[in-house]
Structure 1
Amino acid sequence: MATIPMWKKTMLSALAVVTAACIIVPVVPAAGAHQENSAQAQRAAKLNERDIEGFADAFFNRPDIQALEVPGALFVVVKDGEVLLQKGYGYADLEARKPVDPEQSRFRIASVSKVITATAVMQLVEQGKIDLKQDVQKYMGDVKLKNNTGSPLTMEHLLTHTTGFDIVDPPPGDMITGDLSAITPLKDYIIKTMPTVIHKPGEVYKYDNFASMLQGYIVEQVSGKPFHQYVDDNIFKPLGMKNSQFVLTPGMESSLATGYNERQEPLPTYNTIPTDMPQGSMLTTGSDMAKFMLAHLNEGTLGETRILRKETVKEMQSVQKAIHPKVPTMTYGFEFAMHHKFNDQYVIGKGGSIPGFASWMWLLPEQKVGAFIVYNNNSDLRDRLFEAFMDRYYPAERKPTYTTPAKDQLERFDGIYRDLRVAYLTTRIKAQDGILILEDLMGKHTLQQVEPLLFEDEQGSPVAFQENEDGTIRFLFSKSNPTAWSEKLPVPERFKDVGEDHPYASYIDGLHQLHVVQAGLDGRFSPDAPISRAEFAIWLVNWLGAVPSKSPPAFRDTASRIEAGKITTAFDMGIVTGTGEGLFNPDRPITRQEAAAMASRLAILLGHPPKQAKLTGETDSWAVDAVSNIVGNKFYGPDVLSSSDGSVDYRSKQVMTRKEAAALLYLLGTTSLPLPGSA
């Protein structure tokens, strides 16, 4: 059996936190926040050096912020060409009690790196070396794109994350390495992981790590320099960003902040894969980021130094992709997130998460204001800070006006929408009495129409739709995942042996519509047939939308199977384990307790808190916690009944049927995740 080194297990655990952090959920206000915000809405505070420091000190001392147990943070604010604040809070290294120093402490800023990469691209556009409308194959040397659409992929598509790639993220566990001496060349990694363009470029938005990586590779090809060297020569050195770099070099560790997991355990120092990673490997300080923001807010200049023309900066700060005119998505390099807290301001930004670190930079170009936060864990501190900042300095009283559309107009929104980036994120829309009901992993929301194709939920967060030429609905955007649009799924032809009145129909039909399960050649599902260990593992991977692993098979007895890559992916993610001696026994029918163990690991990975239940009947000791978790969360169909005392016999040692497996997975995937701060 393949083994995962201990350092990599730690990083995979941290990566699970990052995956969850990518999904922005509503911030639970601190006690008294409503009254404070209402008072602020009457009068904005003046953004100056004295007030912003007082605001920041008070914010980081708030009980709800202290409860996040962030080891150390760095906060920078600039305005009108001046640095108003660059201050450290807490520790860059808890064990050494080393305070955060805004001049010297280097932090990993993760995907905020992408704005620096886009800036490098636009410099070469200015020089006439890159054409935004040209097929990027022209700039890729001997690296060949895979494009099945017949439409060219351009730099504009890379910059706006509208590539249409089938895969936009690295395989699980393939983002960092604990071997600091290992070098993974950018070109080699791109060739190894090259995705395929399956949607017409320009049509579909989904946050795209590969697009930004390809931008950096093209900068490398066009300039004739390694990516990190080009950025150093043309952005960092001209701006005086002397403590910024894309590659961790010997000697940097002493100034690098330590990253921590959710238990405040330090993560070992790591390198990124590829080593020179345009989409996320930048290390920097607060004072350096202040210089970068000032240059972007001052039409491309810092003092006597110019890194971009005025016209280019305006292009980078303008909306280039939007699902709706009032719900922008991307500029060339910047993104729009947390629209509901823009407070009628024009805000562009970029967030980032990598194991042990999170960051967020936002600019208000019309106000000549910019702010940057980075810290060494993966909590939602950045979201709370942005909300507090906007409510203090740019408050707005919202008085929305809603319309009541006709029933037939609302019914066209009915259906299931699947996230184009994170396949397990699904949204269900149902028309009801002049409103829409939206239900996803974050819960149920009521939507009221603001104008055609634009709705708002109870918190004022926009929910926007895009229609096809014939007026049918194609895409949806909501706050449940601002990193991608969701596509409305067609209703497939029913399985011949699962009628509408079948007790498991809703579970089976739901997975069928999501392409998790398919009919056999005879058009049947065979609901009462046993499900094998391999098929159940494959269903889990299909539901996640995870990429089949290209690594050697995790188990000797799966090597010859077509789906070996998916089983290896499930192993790499910690969802499945073997049965001993490097074997998986793929064809053996799975027992209910084995299925519960796999599903329980997945549920915990996604953020469902473990629950307990009172069990009766026989369950092997190794499976008790998993079965208790599945029963406690009620991830089962009508085959499981509770006794009068609340106890449940899960029939753990019996073989699981396909219909029972469908119920387990469907309910796991449609049960709301808890909000921050809830049980």
Structure 2
Amino acid sequence: MFRIISNLFFALLALCIASPALSAANESEAAAMEAFLGPLIERQLAQFKIPGATVAVVKDGRLIFSAGYGLADIATSKAVVAEDTLFNIGSVAKLFTTTAVMQLVADGRLDLDADVNTYLRDFEVPARFDQPITLAHLLTHTAGFDEHQIAILVGSKGVTPGLGDYLQRHMPTRIRAPGLQYQYSNYGMSLAGYIVELTSGVPFTRYVEQHVFKPLAMEDSVYGASAPGRFYATAYALTFGNQIPLESFETAITPAGGVHTTATDVARFMIAQLQLGRYEGGRILPEQAAGAMQKTHFQVDAHLGGSAYGFYERRHNGLRILEHAGDALEGFSSLAMLLPKHDIGLFVSYNGREGGRARFQLANAFLDNFFPAKTATMVPPTGFAARAGDYTGTYRLNRHTRTSFLRLVGRSLAMETQVRDNGDGTLSFNYPADLMPPARWTEVKPGLLRRVDAEVYAVFTRVEGSGQFDRLALDAPMQLSLDRVAWHESRGVTALVLSTFLMTFVFGLLVWPLASVIRRLRRRPSRSTRHVRKLKGLAVAFCALALLFLAGYALVVAVQTWGVPIWAHAVFAIPYALILLTIALLTNLASMWRERSAALLTKLYYTLVATLALGFCMAMAHWQMLGFNA
């Protein structure tokens, strides 16, 4: 008994002696973070015209710094407070979903390598390839699903569908065998969350609240934007110099996003991850499960980061970084970043659409300041000029729709980069400068490139094994996989083709009827043959219907994230009418060419018109616009 009391006395004495030193260390670290992050974020808010931001930094199992900057709400001049202001963290919430899956794996209720159909009840994933999709594929974004964003949002007055109902109605096409290529998928992570719901017998959001938020004392973390007694930040879009507040939305795919939380709550989650599941004497994951969550499970090349479960991995200044970014469609942008080796975590969130640019700028500045690079400049190898042509060309991010009516929009909006030969043994990528600064790249070995001035790599691979490279993989500023684009499929050519069609239809609809009216006003008789008059009428009808279709298509695209309206089926029936008109145009054109009275110039003119009509029908088929195809 005396020994126990003696040990307790000396332990308390040691704690009392150490406390001032610990307090001083905390204050020193906090001051260093404030001195670095404060001015940087203030500059960002001014530079990118963002109203506010919230940030937290953790180290060695404790919160060492948190702060709010700017305004959470412009109308009320409410300032951002790190402990109280809720931001929509978008896809950062996928880390909570992954944690929930790993909890059930640790309990023996889920198997990461089992076919997901083992756990589904009301529907199943079609067996399109020999290899089934597993939870491991879902958590690493390698399941092979096409991109799908239809009906993912629910307005403030809308009714959120059941998770299972949504996933059953909106299952995307499987476009490749699982485990072959990284392609970020909201659907895949939502399916993983639904399996948590089915296996636990508890609605997904309630499960996360009880098994993730509650053990971590994340009392200000909620799904949705309507919890009482909370202060939600307002997101803004800069429009013509004015900050326009944006409406908050609920999401139908809650496992993929939809969490509103504070910087200090996210800090608690980061501490638990860095402590391999442990938090203040409790656990949200066994150490082995937490370690498995942070382990690399998919990787294109050892020089690049890969996919852990939930996290994506990248390299910067020789560091291994686990992170996840999040973008809420109403205008929030966030990033959670962990440095497991150094037991450090950083979280930041902005309430403006330009936050997507600011977050990576902040993260890289943080890394460069506290963990500066020690890499020597790379010297371009001899003989590279002969191989440079294998790399050059246009590459497109593989996260875009291929198998629905959104194919045109997906390809047009997906990020593209041109790889160009500088002629001096280096290549350049016209990558968005806010995501990656302008840089020269040179070859380390065939297929592997490195920035001349930094240890950042790019990996090129061939599908067929010879000729030009087909794919480009990067891990900066996040894991990205891009496919080579044929010249005729590039964004520029697509825009040119679409603009040509549009101008032709407007010209045909306005000029031909106007010319007819002018001729009648001048009382000049028509000298057109019967077939020419028919062709003119068919062409005007085609132009009118084509413009009606394009206008209806644009409206459907504008609202598709909230759902596809009933009248969309009528819009996508118009292409069939356009095909019939094209057949009629070609038939009458053939008859006109047999006429001797029609002028050659007239014949050539209407041949061009019919060719354009046929080309538009072929383009609609290529863009998946024939009939409603979601």
Once the two structures are superposed, residues 34-58 of structure 1 have per-residue CA deviations (whole angstroms, 9 ceiling, x without a partner) of xxxxxxxxxxxx9822211221222
Q: Provide TM-score, normalisation by structure 1.
A: 0.65
Q: Give the CA deviation at 1:482.
A: 4.6
Alignment of 1:198-237 (within 5 A): 198-237=175-214
- Name stretches of at least 5 consecutive residues in structure 1 with no aligned partner: 1-45, 492-505, 519-528, 565-583, 589-653, 666-679
Query: Which residue of structure 2 lines up, in the alignment, with residue 74 of structure 1?
Result: 54
Contact 1:139 1:218 in 2 (8 A): yes
Task: Give me the whole-angstrom Cα distance separating, in 1, the residues matched to 2:261 and 2:494.
Answer: 42
How far did residue 389 of structure 1 move?
Answer: 0.9
- The question of 1:55 aligning with 2:36 is answered yes
- Return the letter of the residue paired with 1:464: V
Work out whether residues 552 and 571 of structure 2, in 8 Å CA contact, stay in contact via their aligned partners in 1.
no
Deviation string 1:280-318 (CA, Å, 9 cap, x unpaired) is 101111221111000001111001111112122222222
> Aligned match of 2:80 in 100, 104, 109?
100
Tell me, in whole angstroms, the C-alpha distance in 2 between the residues paired with 1:181 and 1:412: 51
Match of 1:332 in 2: 309
Do the aligned residues in 2 keep the contact of 1:147 with 1:196 (CA within 8 Å)? Answer: no
1:413–1:233: structure 2 CA closer, same or farther, 3 Å change rule? same
What residue ranges of structure 2 are gaps of 5+ in the alignment?
1-26, 401-410, 499-534, 583-607, 620-630
What is the rounded CA distance, in whole Å, between the counterparts of 2:174 and 2:572 in structure 1? 28
- Return the offset for 1:105: 1.2
State the one-letter code of the partner of 1:370: G
1:115 aligns with 2:95: yes
From 271, 284, 297, the counterpart of 1:320: 297
Q: How far apart, in 1, do the equivalents of 2:326 and 2:236 lie?
A: 15
1:578 corresponding residue in structure 2:
none
Provide the rounded CA distance (Å) in 2 between the counterparts of 1:148 and 1:163. Answer: 12
How far off is 1:272 after superposition?
2.0
Deviates further, 218-227 or 416-425: 416-425
CA shift, 1:463, in A, is 2.2
User: How far does residue 442 in structure 1 lie from its aligned partner after superposition?
Assistant: 4.3
* 1:201-600 equivalent positions in 2, closer than 5 A: 201-251=178-228, 254-263=230-239, 265-274=243-252, 277-336=254-313, 339=315, 342-354=316-328, 355-379=330-354, 380-402=357-379, 403-405=381-383, 409-422=387-400, 423-424=411-412, 425-429=415-419, 433=423, 435=425, 437-438=427-428, 440=430, 442=432, 446-457=440-451, 460=454, 461-468=456-463, 470-471=465-466, 473-478=469-474, 482=478, 484-488=480-484, 551-552=564-565, 554=567, 558-561=571-574
State the one-letter code of the partner of 2:233. A
Aligned mates of 1:374, 1:281 — CA distance in 2: 14
Amino acid at match of 1:170: Q
Asked if the contact 1:317/1:348 (under 8 Å) is kept, the reply is yes
- Is the 1:436–1:447 Cα contact (8 Å) retained in structure 2? yes
Compare CA radii of gyration and give the structure with the larger one.
Answer: 2
Describe the shift of the 1:481–1:302 C-alpha distance in structure 2 as closer, same or farther (beyond 3 A): closer
Deviation of 1:488 after TM superposition, in Å, equals 3.2
Measure the CA separation in 2 of the matches of 1:509 and 1:129. Answer: 46
Residues 328, 336 of structure 1: 8 Å contact kept = yes
- Give TM-score, length-normalised by structure 2: 0.70
Matching of residue 189 in structure 1 with residue 166 in structure 2: yes
Q: 2:52 touches 2:72 (CA, 8 Å); kept in 1?
A: yes
Task: Quote the offset at 1:401 in angstroms.
Answer: 3.1
Taking a change above 3 Å as real, the CA distance of residues 225 and 438 of structure 1, as seen in their structure-2 partners, is same
What letter is aligned with 2:395? Y
Q: Is 2:204–2:255's contact at 8 Å kept on the other side of the alignment?
A: yes
Residues 629-659 of structure 1, C-alpha deviation per residue, up to 9 Å, x if partnerless? Answer: xxxxxxxxxxxxxxxxxxxxxxxxx989859
Alignment of 1:170 with 2:168, yes or no, is: no
Q: Percent identity?
A: 28
8 Å CA contact 1:419, 1:426 repeated in 2? yes
Question: Any conservation in 2 of the 1:359–1:373 contact (CA below 8 Å)?
Answer: yes
Inter-CA distance 184–86: structure 2 relative to 1 (3 Å threshold): same
Paired amino acid for 2:238: E
Q: Is the 8 A contact 1:324 1:466 kept in 2?
A: no
Corresponding residue for 2:131?
151
Q: Deviations over 1:445-472 (max 9, x none)?
A: 7531123322134664532112347355
Deviates more, 1:407-416 or 1:151-160: 407-416
Q: What is the letter of the counterpart of residue 475 of structure 1? A: R
Give the residue type in structure 2 aligned to 1:454. L
Give the 3 Å change call, closer, same or farther, for CA 446–87 of structure 1 in structure 2.
Answer: closer
What does residue range 611-630 of structure 1 map to in structure 2 within 5 Å? none
* Cα distance change on mapping 1:452 and 1:535 into 2, 3 Å: farther
Deviation at 1:516, TM superposition (A): 11
Counterpart residue type for residue 573 of structure 2: S
Cα deviation code 1:300-350 (max 9, x no counterpart): 10011111121222222222222221111311111135x5xx211111101
* Contact persistence 1:557–1:586 (CA under 8 A): no
Q: Offset at 1:72?
A: 1.6
Inter-partner Cα distance in structure 2 for 1:233 and 1:194: 28
Q: How many residues align?
A: 497
Deviation string 1:252-271 (CA, Å, 9 cap, x unpaired) is 5x511111112453535433
Distance 1:541 1:417 in 2: 27
TM-aligned CA distance change 1:199 to 1:241, over 3 Å: same
